[in-house]
């Protein structure tokens, strides 16, 4: 069932869809977001969440992994088929395999329960104010043979075939491509993609790199595009 926060919408406020099957937690999160000026809607199950994303057109979705109807992974995949909203996934499971699965399904960030509502609000704000450095560039990027990045259309192709990337994956690939062959540390990548105000575990970069490599068909052991710089970070091969 959908519900909207009781706070009035601020002009130009970002829309946030909170998808959480625990009504009390959903209400707490929604109230914290509304107090910060966001326009908030709540959904408590998978089918309602997808319908709400169609109708509400949120800028960001706070998405619990365990939901009735169908789970957060399926909600994420379905929303990704028609929306480029940021998706912040919530889960009580903190294993890296779960994070990889969530990010591969299209999530942009991942928060493990239990969490403080203020921390969650800060993560939401950090995602929404992320710099879009790639949108300021007009020159073609020096990418490796077989990899094409169109900054204006925000598309990626490998050997001519389109590759569907999330917001975060596209920004991550672009951040690497703007400095071809340069070894970027996790900190460098976080600043370029998430912004200097981002906080959290820097190993989220590794999780996104793994998801990105899978979509590009890139083998970490014998990389065609993205190479690991041991003890440092990552680099994209130049053309």
pLDDT tens digits for range 184-223: 999 888 888 877 667 667 788 888 899 899 999 999 889 9
In the chain, the number of structural domains is 2
82 and 20 co-located in one domain: yes
Domain end (from 98, 128, 158): 128
Q: Cα–Cα distance between 179 and 13 in angstroms, integer?
A: 35
Mean pLDDT for the stretch of residues 81-93: 85
**44: domain range?**
3-128
**For residue range 41-50, what is the model confidence (pLDDT) as tens digits?**
999 999 999 9
110 and 146 co-located in one domain: no
CATH number of the domain at 155, please: 1.10.10.10
Question: Are 110 and 102 in contact, with CB atoms under 8 Å apart?
Answer: yes
139 and 104 co-located in one domain: no
Q: Cα–Cα distance between 60 and 50 in angstroms, integer?
A: 13
Question: Are 25 and 42 in contact, with CB atoms under 8 Å apart?
Answer: no
**For residue range 48-74, what is the model confidence (pLDDT) as tens digits?**
999 999 999 999 999 998 899 999 999
90 and 192 co-located in one domain: no
The confidence score (pLDDT) of residue 133 equals: 46
146 and 208 co-located in one domain: yes
7 and 124 co-located in one domain: yes
227 and 140 co-located in one domain: yes
118 and 167 co-located in one domain: no
Question: Are 89 and 17 in contact, with CB atoms under 8 Å apart?
Answer: no
Mean pLDDT for the stretch of residues 15-19: 96
């Amino acid at each position: 069932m959908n519900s909207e926060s009781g706070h009035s919408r601020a002009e130009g406020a970002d829309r946030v869809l909170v998808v959480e099957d625990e009504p009390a937690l959903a209400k707490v999160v929604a109230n914290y977001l509304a107090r910060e000026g966001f326009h908030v809607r709540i959904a408590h199950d998978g089918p309602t969440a997808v319908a709400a994303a169609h109708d509400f057109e949120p800028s960001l979705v706070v998405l619990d992994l365990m939901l009735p109807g169908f789970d957060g992974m399926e909600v994420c995949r379905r929303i990704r088929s028609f929306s480029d909203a940021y998706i912040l996934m919530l889960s009580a499971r903190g294993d890296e395999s779960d994070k990889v699965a969530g990010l591969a399904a299209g999530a942009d960030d991942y928060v493990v329960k239990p969490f403080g509502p203020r921390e969650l609000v800060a993560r939401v704000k950090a995602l929404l104010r992320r710099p879009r450095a790639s949108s300021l560039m007009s020159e073609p990027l020096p990418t490796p043979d077989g990899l094409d990045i169109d900054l204006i259309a925000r598309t990626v192709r490998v050997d001519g075939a389109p590759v569907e990337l999330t917001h975060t994956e596209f920004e991550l690939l672009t951040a690497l491509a703007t400095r071809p062959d340069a070894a970027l540390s996790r900190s460098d990548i976080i600043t370029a993609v998430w912004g200097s105000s981002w906080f959290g575990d820097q190993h989220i970069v590794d999780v996104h790199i793994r998801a990105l490599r899978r979509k590009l068909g890139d083998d970490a052991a014998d990389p065609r595009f993205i190479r690991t710089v041991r003890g440092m970070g990552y680099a994209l091969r130049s053309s």
